[in-house]
Amino acid sequence: MLLQEESQQRLINMAKYQAAKLDTDVIKRKTVSESLKIQVTSQFDYDRAISDEAYWDEFLNDIEPFIYNTALKYDMAYIYLNPFLHEKARDVWYWDRGSGRNP
């Protein structure tokens, strides 16, 4: 009986640990998302984007360092610009695939 109780307690502790880890990961992803949203929306010129196709690449070049630095801090960061605005998909992303803190 003692072995069964100990096993159950270990399973409970493992489940709590995984739940806390998941909560932390979700909070981290939400932080990244909000940070990118604020930065992108504060810099993006919608009117110019509609009228000047060259603006898109210029904007991505300007925002890329911020995305890279965000990825250094949070292991990943990306933006994806709506292709329906100018009929071409554009994005910038960095992802630390090996957890080496180097996206």
Q: Provide the pLDDT confidence category of residue 45 given band limits of 50, 70 and 90.
A: very high
In degrees and rounded to multiples of 5, residue 36 shows phi and psi of -65, -40
37-43 average pLDDT score: 90
Q: Break the chain into its structural domains and give their ranges.
A: 2-95
Task: Say what the pLDDT of residue 98 is.
Answer: 64
Tens of pLDDT, residue by residue over 18-39, are 999 999 989 988 988 898 889 8
Tens of pLDDT, residue by residue over 57-79, are 899 899 999 988 888 888 788 88
Range 35-42 contact pairs with CB under 8 angstroms and sequence separation of 24 or more = 35/70, 36/66, 36/67, 36/70, 36/77, 36/78, 36/79, 39/63, 39/66, 40/79
Task: Say what the pLDDT of residue 11 is.
Answer: 93
Give the global pTM: 0.67
